[in-house]
Amino acid sequence: MIDVEDLIALVRNYNPRCNADLIRRAYAYGLKMHEGQFRKSGEPYFTHPVAVAAILTEQRLDDATIVTALLHDTIEDTRSTYADVAAQFGEEVAELVDGVTKLTNLQLSSTESQQAENFRKLFMAMSRDLRVILVKLADRLHNMRTIRSMSPEKQAQKARETMEIFAPLAGRMGMQWMREELEDLAFKVLNPEARNSIMRRFLTLQRETGDVVHQISGDIRHELEKARIEADVFGRAKKPYSIWRKMQEKDLAFSRLSDIYGFRVICGSVADCYRILGVIHQRWRAVPGRFKDYISQPKNNGYRSIHTTVSGRDGKRVEVQIRTREMHEVAEAGVAAHWSYREGVRAVNPFAVDPAKWIASLTERLDEGDTDEFLEHVKLEMYSDQVFCFTPKGDVVQLPRGATPLDFAYAIHTRIGNSCVSAKIDGIRVPLWTRLKNGQSVEIITAEGQRPQASWIDIVTTGRAKAAIRRSLREEDRGRFVKLGQELARAAFEHVGKKATDKALRTAAKMLGLADENDLLARLGSAELPARRVVETLYPELAQAVAEEVDSGRPVAGLTADQEFRRAQCCQPVPGERIVGITYRGQGVVVHAIDCPALEEFEDQTSRWVDLHWHSGRHKPVFTVSLDLTISNDAGVLGRICTLIGEQKANISDLRFTDRKPDFYRLIVDVDLRDVEHLHMVMTALEAETDVAQISRHRDLTRRP
């Protein structure tokens, strides 16, 4: 464990004016509070807070952050309280320690809905003081460095959480070194065989080719000396996880992977950066499409650098990053550079971003959608790299890598996105699903009356565009859902002998906390709210009385004791739908839906009509309905369709293909259902699946009695 004086010495290296007494008191307090506590490895627990503080000294952070690191587990794991910490170390430190405690208690790898809310809390804590997340990241880094003492299950859980949340967050904050180390430590736990394989291949490559990093670094230095440019050159092999990810993304074997080495050239001025770029491109051939100028177009976390990939020795691709020393400080510390000290004073770095503005840019418009959209947007914002494109007027639009012209349109304005019909890239008309590249000029073509299409959801990549498209589709579907909700409400109320009047629906909406009866009907129609719940809200005693299961042998009321019945196969009526019976000599009564076209031939035979209705209560799922589906001809699609139906507690009794094409299948699926509400739930779930192009209820008028 690092001694308190050694820790103070680390702080004094960059901040000679640090409050050594405050750090000593915090060290002594933390040591006392954690006395008798031990880590899984058997070490005294206080070794962990001290190690976290030491990690933060590498980022040259202020006294309050270092003290917070020493105390970050006291409120959670010891008898210490917020009031105790505030009394001894001040409100600022107490607020920071409390913030870290709350972050520790967030279960970020929990279920989707809970995870969305916890992400909200994470960003709220960050917006109050970003130093909270800096301490939390250092805490996670030390835990990952010492993870081997945990149980295998705990190791896997922590590693997944690190890979999915903390590593991308560190990268988004500009702390690339921490992101790479966190990813590699998690990779070592989650896929040790793959990591060891890459390490073995590296050793083999070094034996075959020698020290490539040293050789290429020497070549770059030689060229810079010839051009009389002063600069430092650093080279390294990329981390195993970075190589593994590239192998997976590009589906390449290690032997075919070229740019596994990276080099940094750090110089004194921006002018030198561009001179160095010219020297490198004159000496080695640049790889097309692998040039990024983050000096003229910085990332919003303050990152500035020039990236280029060239063919080096023996045709090996190498990535070269060129930046000034000030840019390098921000590249290493990211957003944390705002708090860094040099020679006892806050370092004034022109490239360090204001954390408040950075948080605002990261969380911009996140409150527009629901919790699922929030989570989706946050993850997209955290994990994305960026491309920079131009409007026809020359304005720059920043978008995540993989963005399309539709994302570009929505980034300008929601109205532009909603009315987009086509786009031009560098003057050439292109499909809306085209992936944008750095430096392209994009022109959006709009048309009055154009509305977003459901297929756009799969085209766009930004959370803002996805939220806007979903919102528009919801509004467009609202009228259809209200109409369908009216029919579902009518059937549900008739089950208990009541009518779905406007007053009844308004009352139910109020009791359920909804805006009005139209909101209630829309939710009924979109399957967000079951009709049974509306009835139970207004008439709990009646709903309970009819909840008994209906005899599946006699589900229809209105028949005489000796009359047999069967459902018409042309319309396949189900409980909840209005029905009528037609008598057949020697065949009993055939039950049709009231809107069945087959009834037209009986208009003049009123004596054969029988007034029927379904018994009230809970029906068994024995009513077969045929669904006509058109689905994508792709691997796994049919399996997902069957799974979706099963998730709605419906059974598939038959399935037959009616048409097969290279890009789609058409099929009829027979599903056993309870009632019209159950049917609607199944159809809504299938309609929401992106690989279902069309769905309808199959009506076969040739199948008459």
Q: How many C-beta atoms lie closer than 10 Å to residue 138's C-beta? A: 25
CA distance 369 to 378: 11
- Within 13 A of 143's CA, how many CA atoms are on the CB side? 17
Instruction: Please choose, from the candidates 61, 335, 320, 376, the residue with its C-alpha nearest in 3D space to the C-alpha of residue 176.
Output: 335
> Helix axis angle, 405-412 relative to 463-495, nearest 10°?
90
Question: Is 326 in contact with 351 (CB distance < 8 Å)?
Answer: yes
Q: Nearest-CA neighbor of 484 among 594, 576, 579, 591?
A: 576
Collect contacts of 160-167 with beta carbons under 8 A, ≥24 apart.
160/109, 160/186, 160/190, 161/108, 161/109, 162/186, 163/187, 163/190, 164/109, 165/108, 165/109, 166/136, 166/137, 166/140
H helix and E strand count, the chain: 29, 23
**By C-alpha distance, which of 31, 100, 46, 115 is closest to 68?**
100
Q: Are 516 and 482 in contact (CB under 8 A)?
A: no
592: amino acid identity, one letter: H
Catalytically active residues are: 76-77
DSSP H stretches of helix in 441-516? 456-459, 463-495, 502-511
| Distance, CA of 519 to CA of 172 (rounded, Å) | 39
Q: Find the radius of gyration of the CA atoms of the chain.
A: 33
DSSP character for 445? E
Determine whether 617 is exposed, middle or buried from the number of CB atoms within 10 Å of its CB (0-12, 13-18, 19+).
Answer: middle
CA atoms within 13 A on the CB side of 375: 16
Sign of CA dihedral 497, 500, 501, 505: positive
Beta strand 292-293 with 306-311: parallel, antiparallel or unpaired? antiparallel
Q: How many CB atoms lie within 10 A of CB 536?
A: 18
